[in-house]
Amino acid sequence: MSKKTGNRQKNKPPKVGKRHRKLGTAPGTVTYLGNREGSPSKIECITYDENDFEKRVIATPEELLKQPGAGQTQWINVVGVSDEQLMSRLGVVSDLNTLVVEDIVNTEQRPKVDEYDKYIFGVFKMLYLNAEQQIVKEHVALVLTPNRVYVYQEIEADVFDRVRQRILEKSGRIRSRGADYLFFALLDALVDHYFMILEQTEERLDQLDNEIYTEPTQHTAYKIQQLRKEIINLRAWMGPVKELLGRLIQSESTLITKDTQVFLRDVLDHAVEINETLHIQREMAFSLMEMYMSSVSNRMNEVMKVLTIMASIFIPLTFIAGIYGMNFSNMPELQWKYGYFLVLALMIAIFMIMVVYFKRKGWF
Amino acid sequence: MSKKTGNRQKNKPPKVGKRHRKLGTAPGTVTYLGNREGSPSKIECITYDENDFEKRVIATPEELLKQPGAGQTQWINVVGVSDEQLMSRLGVVSDLNTLVVEDIVNTEQRPKVDEYDKYIFGVFKMLYLNAEQQIVKEHVALVLTPNRVYVYQEIEADVFDRVRQRILEKSGRIRSRGADYLFFALLDALVDHYFMILEQTEERLDQLDNEIYTEPTQHTAYKIQQLRKEIINLRAWMGPVKELLGRLIQSESTLITKDTQVFLRDVLDHAVEINETLHIQREMAFSLMEMYMSSVSNRMNEVMKVLTIMASIFIPLTFIAGIYGMNFSNMPELQWKYGYFLVLALMIAIFMIMVVYFKRKGWF
Amino acid sequence: MSKKTGNRQKNKPPKVGKRHRKLGTAPGTVTYLGNREGSPSKIECITYDENDFEKRVIATPEELLKQPGAGQTQWINVVGVSDEQLMSRLGVVSDLNTLVVEDIVNTEQRPKVDEYDKYIFGVFKMLYLNAEQQIVKEHVALVLTPNRVYVYQEIEADVFDRVRQRILEKSGRIRSRGADYLFFALLDALVDHYFMILEQTEERLDQLDNEIYTEPTQHTAYKIQQLRKEIINLRAWMGPVKELLGRLIQSESTLITKDTQVFLRDVLDHAVEINETLHIQREMAFSLMEMYMSSVSNRMNEVMKVLTIMASIFIPLTFIAGIYGMNFSNMPELQWKYGYFLVLALMIAIFMIMVVYFKRKGWF
Amino acid sequence: MSKKTGNRQKNKPPKVGKRHRKLGTAPGTVTYLGNREGSPSKIECITYDENDFEKRVIATPEELLKQPGAGQTQWINVVGVSDEQLMSRLGVVSDLNTLVVEDIVNTEQRPKVDEYDKYIFGVFKMLYLNAEQQIVKEHVALVLTPNRVYVYQEIEADVFDRVRQRILEKSGRIRSRGADYLFFALLDALVDHYFMILEQTEERLDQLDNEIYTEPTQHTAYKIQQLRKEIINLRAWMGPVKELLGRLIQSESTLITKDTQVFLRDVLDHAVEINETLHIQREMAFSLMEMYMSSVSNRMNEVMKVLTIMASIFIPLTFIAGIYGMNFSNMPELQWKYGYFLVLALMIAIFMIMVVYFKRKGWF
Amino acid sequence: MSKKTGNRQKNKPPKVGKRHRKLGTAPGTVTYLGNREGSPSKIECITYDENDFEKRVIATPEELLKQPGAGQTQWINVVGVSDEQLMSRLGVVSDLNTLVVEDIVNTEQRPKVDEYDKYIFGVFKMLYLNAEQQIVKEHVALVLTPNRVYVYQEIEADVFDRVRQRILEKSGRIRSRGADYLFFALLDALVDHYFMILEQTEERLDQLDNEIYTEPTQHTAYKIQQLRKEIINLRAWMGPVKELLGRLIQSESTLITKDTQVFLRDVLDHAVEINETLHIQREMAFSLMEMYMSSVSNRMNEVMKVLTIMASIFIPLTFIAGIYGMNFSNMPELQWKYGYFLVLALMIAIFMIMVVYFKRKGWF
């Protein structure tokens, strides 16, 4: 039992409760809520335009006060947000509202998009499968300014690797477009990874469907239940993206060009598909449970039939044997020469009749 | 078991997961997602107006650079979209956005309609029954330009055959109207075929209803579950058409004339009916499962009654026989002359009483 | 079994599938979808104003080219719509769009209202109980022109009889008002009949409720299931009326006067009540099934209790009898003078204890 | 059984079906639908202003043609609406539309509010508990004119008694305000009584919850089902009030002053709370049924365990006794001196092992 | 049993029914509905600006007639609202509408926000866990005027303690901002505490999930049911906050500055998250019940299998023993030398066959 319980703890969705650490603090208080306290932050700055590309590590936030050159786009990649002081300094340097910085380090913040005059701020959930094929959820905060995109992550996952690679390719479209296109490309990568998660949940649904049909156990029910919970959580993490993108597309902010909005519409298409798929998977998981219950009932029926057949055939026969086991002094049949054989014949006849009866009933 | 599992694989709805092949590629990348790689594409061009009709096969996409004559309408029928390069060339020749070409070869794209300045682009699901009466889903992309309709299919299904025939008839309305009417006629044929699918699912619902009432087995539950899944999938494929048509009808694009909009409203009527029917069928499938569960419970009740009756009647009788099978030296009844017959009479009396009792209870 | 199946076929709701007869035909093709092919059509024309009343049978549609006199209202009653050619001629004479004529003969058309410049066209479902108290659904199409109302029915049901009678009464309000009031009166009669259907379904719900409480059988579950299906179908047939009336009331067509709109609002009230009642009945039918399941479980509990009591009492007693039926040479009790009677006393004691035990448990 | 059935009839919600009495009559036909035909109507007129108060019984409707004096407000209280002729005369005298009079005597009319130029008409359901604590539903129609409020009831319930008392108190706010305030006060009294009903249903929910936990029987399921039905009916009767009040508050009619609208908003608050409470109670009733089912399953589990324990312990023991009851001539054990005692010891050992086994399983 | 029932009473959500105390009273009547009658009220006044801070207890409401100085903000904290007269006097002194005072003492008032010209009035539910980890719900009413915030509570809970502390800190943002910021800070503290409740319910869901998997009893079902009820109640208490905040943010009242609206939006974010979490928890609780039912069925299956195996193995063996226990004079086998041993061997063979059979079936 202990091993199973162990597995369950590992997979557990993050608690609402981490919140209570912040209980009663003033709004705008920068409090890290994740569980990677003390891991150092790493700030990386990728500067590029159509011709040049430069990547360097930033030592102090204040280096960022120097703006990129004209036509250049910068991707400020921050890995590790547990250092509350550093984050505050970064916020000041980047001219961010303290409420924004609060949300950057609040790893339990649900997906959101806030538009400010000078920047657009978004929180999303990065979802991917780890080596053990478990769903990992990471907090990602994005800030889009006219020539920079800030990316805040807890750990360096490989979700954005392809974007990085595309920047390296000199001829790539991403190089010739501005920060808003980079912002889109990152969102696109994020949402594309959601499909991998859905692919896995779909496979698990299929496996469970199979398992119910072939070898259902109580553990099957437990796995259905776990999958259901995960799908519910996925909806909370992925679901809001659709609405947030819709708002970005209809936004009147000058930070996002018309060209990029066309691309965002493409991501929105994916978000719509994701929501639909989640809806279908939820329905499937629900009907799996019903299916499981029906299979349990059927198996009980089978068990009952075996019992009933055995009991119905042998109880009357045993009764007959019992009669002739009685010790009355005057039992004429006992003295008959073929009494014993007659009774045996009778028993076989009853046996046959019962077998035929249950066969007719379709019980075996 | 293996055979059943085999059947199940065949029917399986397409995986979300094919997507991961595209993971991380730049948007607008033309990547074929179907499973017919390597099958050659065939481009056919039907040109017609009120008087003339011509049909020829196109060898290279560049032939399409020559526009049809004034008053003429062209149906460019592309069968096989797995050749990514050819599709890209076709897109360039037809002046299509790369995002559009991406969606044309993305056979897992959900139904959508996008309006561009010079054309309207739509993706739909073609649904029909194959020879084994299984539901087949094909990806269809339509592009409406002022004088051409492009149709992209994976294989040549006979869904559009009647439209083709109507073009052949010189007096047909379709000949005297433009590309938008052809576009409508194709949509109409597509949606009309949906009714055949619904007819089949309805029949299967009826059969299962019957099966539950006459001979329910665990396999019945399995078939209900499969049908439920298929209905859920049909909703994902057919459902969006209603909204897309609504948008086309309210569109301000000059590509669709007012006359054609009246006809599109008729297709919309059908789409509404389809959604309603799917809703009803889903509810029916749901209540079938409930019905099945109730029938399982009832049968278990029957099994239990047989067991209870047999046990309740014979267990007390066997007990009585057991008493007089005891070997006490002093058991006066054993010496009675009619002791044996008295006990037999008692047993028969108890038997009768039990039978009457259970009959009164309505147990048999 | 065959008899039951027979009954079920009779009651079956119309198939979606009749549609496929039309598969691939050009829109506007006049194709009869009902099952009364070959039954002759009868056209009747009732002309009336405040003073006069005339009723005659029309031989050829062309007679209708003569318009009614000023201030006169005409009710053109067409019974039997299976003659596709006649219907087309009637459509031409009445200046109806071919799409409208298509819908008139399409007996599977769902309820709809279309407004054209010169007329309003509506399709509704006429519902009434036949002699065997079965729900009969008929297709009715209504066309309202400035001075005429066309009524297309498949058979002559008595739903409109009272309207006819009210026209006969010289002092009736209906005589002094125009075609739109007649149109309203017909809709009112149609919707009023819906209440009779709901009354019957409600009664059946009550009967089933009673049956579950007194004598539930598997057939009860079947009847609940059938009723549920019928209620689902009723929603498809009656439900849209509410929205259609809402649209008629808000319509800006000059065909319906303000006065008549007040009356239509009254019909709308009824339609709202019908939808609510259907919603309640659906919920009731749903909870009936649950109630049935709970009663099945309870009865199984009862059966199990009988078995358990019988077995628990007699199995230990039989065991004791078995002990003293053993043939060991050295069994001192067997030689005791009152050994037999002591064992009998022990058995009675055990029996009493068991009875008291189960009584305490509340099992009987 | 007959007694139970009897009780059920009493509680039955009013049938949809009464409607059919009106089937086919012209709209505006004044037809009483209640079941108190022949009970005499009583018309009472309370006239008051800040200083004076007068109450008298009206003999003929025509007395009402005399309008109250300036600044005076009149409450016309009509008890008993079964006299269709009298109601029609009252309607004429009060200048009411015939459709309004139709709704006044239609005791099955669902809640509604209609605004006319000179008056506002509303139908509501008066709900209270009778002496046997059963929910009684009465039809109430209210008409608000500039200086009068007409109240039509079937019987004289005490719901409006407190309003009457407050009019008697000279210093009460009600005396110094107009007819619209009286209208509000009546609505307020009506809605306040709804809370008493909800209080009772809540108590019944609590009792059933307790019953399931202590002594669930099939009758418990029946009571849950009945309560569910009643809650569904309450929703149909109370639910629409929220929307109707919302409409009254946003109405532009001059009949309701701004001051009174503030008070109506307070009643709306209550109506919102009522709808919420009904929603919660419905959910509670639903989960009660589930809880009941789970308790039935649990009890069956208990029954099964008793049976299984008894059978599993004694069947093997009986078998052993059976062996040594066989009459083979050569059975060495039978001759052993302590054979009998060894077998007894074996039996006790098996018994102990079984008991320990089931105890370990947690079965008792 | 009595102890359990005792526990249940304690936890019971407040009754709708307290309302009936107010039945029939005039609107605006100040009637206390809580259950702390007679507990004395305490009025405390905290006055602060950027530099000063003063806290004193107010003896008579009339002291409040003296307004705070320019730039000063006052927090009037009223603990204990059961003294109806005092509350009325306070209302008069503060120039509040009597309907507002009615809602202040109506401890059962659902959450609401009303905007008046000179103040904004809100009722909320304060939720926290008491020492026994039970959810406690308290009624809180807030009134925001240009320079004062009135807080009415039933008892002094520590929910607002942190706000108080922040006022004490001279450099805190709260000191330099006006009454609207204080109003926001109080709301923020209120809503932040909701997360603690959700944290506890989530933990209980987890525990129950575990319990079902390890040791489900009927009490588990009861606890699921109780948790479900609590979650339903939490929705009624917490749910409306989202909408009320939305209204406050869009309000055009000058009482709330633009700056504070940004902060309110942050609270709104939390309210949205709370509603989502409640939705998820409700779904989880629902699926727990299903899971529980499936585990009950599974355990019954286990019980049945034990019974069936025991009965199926030993009943046939006992029958064989019965045969050779018969007393026929002519039973050749009885005289065979190794008859007994042959029969024993046969029995062992049958036993082995049965064991293998059930093992193959996977029953143990």
Q: Is the domain of C229 the same as that of C274?
A: yes
- Residue B3 clears pLDDT 70, i.e. is over it: no
Any chain A CB within 8 A of the CB of B15?
yes
Please give the pLDDT value at position A24.
61
Contact list, A289 vs chain E (CB under 8 Å): 287, 290, 294
Please give the pLDDT value at position B203.
93
Contact list, B325 vs chain C (CB under 8 Å): 321, 325
- Which of A260, A294, A328 terminates a domain? The answer is A294
- Residue B126 clears pLDDT 50, i.e. is over it: yes
CA distance E168 to D53: 60
Asked whether E108 and E96 are in contact (CB, 8 A), the reply is no
- Residue D186 clears pLDDT 90, i.e. is over it: yes
- Residue C266 clears pLDDT 60, i.e. is over it: yes
- Residue E250 clears pLDDT 90, i.e. is over it: no
List the beta bridge partners of residue E148. E74
Average pLDDT score, chain E:
87
Q: Is the domain of D285 the same as that of D166?
A: yes
Q: D325 and C322 in contact by Cβ < 8 A?
A: yes
Any chain C CB within 8 A of the CB of B169?
no
Please give the pLDDT value at position E202.
93
What's the structural domain count of chain D? 2
Any chain A CB within 8 A of the CB of E38?
no
Extract the tokens encoding E198.
Answer: 């959700």
- Which of B251, B270, B294 terminates a domain? The answer is B294
Any chain C CB within 8 A of the CB of B162?
yes
Please give the pLDDT value at position E185.
93
Label each residue of chain E as H, E or C. Answer: CHHHHHHHHHHCCCCHHHHHHHCCCCCCCCCCCCCCCCCCCEEEEEEECCCCEEEEEECCHHHHHCCCCCCCEEEEEEECCCCHHHHHHHHHHCCCCHHHHHHHHCCCCCCEEEECCCCEEEEEEEEEECCCCCEEEEEEEEEECCCEEEEEECCCCHHHHHHHHHHHCCCCHHHHCCHHHHHHHHHHHHHHHHHHHHHHHHHHHHHHHHHHHHCCCHHHHHHHHHHHHHHHHHHHHHCHHHHHHHHHHHCCCCCCCHHHHHHHHHHHHHHHHHHHHHHHHHHHHHHHHHHHHHHHHHHHHHHHHHHHHHHHHHHHHHHHHHHCCCCCCCCHHHHCCCHHHHHHHHHHHHHHHHHHHHHHCCCC
- Residue B334 clears pLDDT 80, i.e. is over it: yes
Question: Which residue in B has a C-alpha nearest to residue C98's C-alpha?
Answer: B263
Give me the sheet containing C73-79, strands edge to edge.
C53-58, C42-48, C73-79, C148-153, C135-144, C120-129, C112-115
Orientation of helix D179-214 relative to helix D161-168, angle to 10°: 140
C17-26, E208-217, E289-298: range with lowest mean pLDDT: C17-26
Q: Is the domain of D221 the same as that of D157?
A: yes
Q: What angle do CA E100, E105, E111 make, to 5 degrees?
A: 70
- D97-121 average pLDDT score: 89
pLDDT digits (tens, 9 = 90+) for E78-99: 998 888 889 999 999 999 988 8
- A275-287 average pLDDT score: 91
Q: Which chains touch A (3 or more CB pairs under 8 A)?
A: B, E
| Closest CB to B327 among A266, A316, A327 | A327
What is the domain extent for residue D23?
18-294
Extract the tokens encoding A298.
Answer: 């059927």
Residue carrying the six token digits 């790689």: B37
- DSSP summary character for residue B61: G
- B125-154 average pLDDT score: 92
Q: Is the domain of A135 the same as that of A168?
A: yes
Please give the pLDDT value at position B7.
40
Q: Is the domain of B287 the same as that of B313?
A: no
Asked whether D65 and D89 are in contact (CB, 8 A), the reply is no
Q: B192 and C229 in contact by Cβ < 8 A?
A: no
Extract the tokens encoding B159.
Answer: 């869904």
Any chain D CB within 8 A of the CB of C304?
yes
Asked whether A24 and A67 are in contact (CB, 8 A), the reply is no
Contact list, D359 vs chain E (CB under 8 Å): none
- Residue A101 clears pLDDT 80, i.e. is over it: yes
- Residue E9 clears pLDDT 70, i.e. is over it: no
Question: Rg of chain A over CA atoms, in angstroms?
Answer: 34
Please give the pLDDT value at position A185.
93
Please give the pLDDT value at position A41.
85
| Closest CB to A324 among E172, E326, E362 | E326
A238, amino acid identity: M
pLDDT digits (tens, 9 = 90+) for A189-246: 999 999 999 999 999 999 999 999 888 888 899 899 999 999 999 999 999 999 999 9
Please give the pLDDT value at position D20.
56
Q: Is the domain of E290 the same as that of E309?
A: no
Percentage, residues of chain D above pLDDT 70: 93
Please give the pLDDT value at position B213.
85
Tell me which residues of chain E, numbers 173 to 232, contact chain D at a CB-CB cutoff of 8 Å: 215, 218, 221-222, 225, 228-229, 232
Q: Is the domain of B110 the same as that of B20?
A: yes
Average pLDDT score, chain C:
87
Question: Which residue in B has a C-alpha nearest to residue C235's C-alpha?
Answer: B280
Extract the tokens encoding D156.
Answer: 């004289």
| C9 CB neighbour count, 10 Å cutoff | 9
Any chain E CB within 8 A of the CB of D326?
yes
Any chain B CB within 8 A of the CB of C346?
no
Q: B229 and A284 in contact by Cβ < 8 A?
A: yes
Contact list, E196 vs chain A (CB under 8 Å): 17, 19-20, 23
Query: In the structure, what pLDDT confidence band is assigned to residue A39 with cuts at 50, 70 and 90?
Result: confident
Q: E327 and A322 in contact by Cβ < 8 A?
A: no
A1-10, D147-156, D184-193: range with lowest mean pLDDT: A1-10
Contact list, E280 vs chain A (CB under 8 Å): 232-233, 236
Please give the pLDDT value at position A252.
84
Hey, of C213, C269, C284, which one would you mutate to test binding to chain D, going by the most D CBs within 10 A of its CB? C213
- Residue E165 clears pLDDT 90, i.e. is over it: no
Give E38→chain A minimum CA distance, Å: 32
Label each residue of chain C as H, E or C. Answer: CHHHHHHHHHHCCCCHHHHHHHCCCCCCCCCCCCCCCCCCCEEEEEEECCCCEEEEEECCHHHHHCCCCCCCEEEEEEECCCCHHHHHHHHHHCCCCHHHHHHHHCCCCCCEEEECCCCEEEEEEEEEECCCCCEEEEEEEEEECCCEEEEEECCCCHHHHHHHHHHHCCCCHHHHCCHHHHHHHHHHHHHHHHHHHHHHHHHHHHHHHHHHHHCCCHHHHHHHHHHHHHHHHHHHHHHHHHHHHHHHHHCCCCCCCHHHHHHHHHHHHHHHHHHHHHHHHHHHHHHHHHHHHHHHHHHHHHHHHHHHHHHHHHHHHHHHHHHCCCCCCCCHHHHCCCHHHHHHHHHHHHHHHHHHHHHHCCCC
- E325-341 average pLDDT score: 91
Please give the pLDDT value at position B187.
94
Q: Is the domain of B352 the same as that of B263?
A: no
Query: In the structure, what pLDDT confidence band is assigned to residue D252 with cuts at 50, 70 and 90?
Result: confident
Q: E12: domain CATH number?
A: 3.30.460.20
Average pLDDT score, chain D:
87
Q: C328: domain CATH number?
A: 1.20.58.340
pLDDT digits (tens, 9 = 90+) for B109-119: 889 998 888 99
Q: Is the domain of C160 the same as that of C131?
A: yes
Give E165→chain D minimum CA distance, Å: 36
Residue carrying the six token digits 């991380």: B24
Q: Which residues of E291-307 are buried (b: 16+ CB within 10 A; e: fewer)?
A: bbbbbbbbbbbbbbbbb
- Residue D212 clears pLDDT 70, i.e. is over it: yes
Any chain D CB within 8 A of the CB of C235?
no
Please give the pLDDT value at position C2.
39
B124-128, C77-81, C174-178: range with lowest mean pLDDT: C174-178
CA distance B228 to B204: 11
Any chain A CB within 8 A of the CB of B17?
yes
Q: Is the domain of A233 the same as that of A345?
A: no
Any chain D CB within 8 A of the CB of E343?
yes
C244-248, D44-48, D248-252: range with lowest mean pLDDT: D248-252
Q: C330 and D318 in contact by Cβ < 8 A?
A: no
- Residue D291 clears pLDDT 80, i.e. is over it: yes
- Residue B12 clears pLDDT 50, i.e. is over it: no
Percentage, residues of chain D above pLDDT 90: 49
pLDDT digits (tens, 9 = 90+) for B20-55: 556 667 777 778 877 777 777 899 999 998 888 899
Any chain B CB within 8 A of the CB of A283?
yes
Q: Is the domain of A208 the same as that of A336?
A: no
Please give the pLDDT value at position C8.
39
Any chain D CB within 8 A of the CB of E22?
yes
Question: Which residue in D has a C-alpha nearest to residue E347's C-alpha?
Answer: D323
Query: In the structure, what pLDDT confidence band is assigned to residue C23 with cuts at 50, 70 and 90?
Result: low
Contact list, C202 vs chain D (CB under 8 Å): 15-17
Any chain D CB within 8 A of the CB of E355?
no
Please give the pLDDT value at position C22.
63
pLDDT digits (tens, 9 = 90+) for C28-46: 777 887 777 777 789 999 9
pLDDT digits (tens, 9 = 90+) for C114-170: 888 899 999 999 999 888 888 999 999 999 999 999 999 988 878 898 898 888 887
Any chain C CB within 8 A of the CB of B134?
no
- E207-232 average pLDDT score: 90
Classify E136 in phi/psi space as left (phi over 0), alpha (psi -120 to 50) or beta: beta
pLDDT digits (tens, 9 = 90+) for C196-231: 999 999 999 999 999 998 888 888 998 999 999 999
Look at B13 and D333; give whichever has higher pLDDT. Answer: D333
Average pLDDT score, chain A:
87
- DSSP summary character for residue A120: E
Please give the pLDDT value at position E75.
95
- Residue E295 clears pLDDT 60, i.e. is over it: yes
D100, amino acid identity: V
Query: In the structure, what pLDDT confidence band is assigned to residue E76 with cuts at 50, 70 and 90?
Result: very high
Interface confidence, given as ipTM, is 0.77
| Closest CB to B301 among C26, C299, C337 | C299
- Which of D244, D278, D294 terminates a domain? The answer is D294
Please give the pLDDT value at position E33.
76
Q: Is the domain of C94 the same as that of C241?
A: yes
Hey, of B2, B16, B101, B308, which one would you mutate to test binding to chain A, going by the most A CBs within 10 A of its CB? B16
Question: Which residue in D has a C-alpha nearest to residue C268's C-alpha?
Answer: D112
Please give the pLDDT value at position A197.
93
Percentage, residues of chain C above pLDDT 90: 50
Any chain C CB within 8 A of the CB of D296?
yes
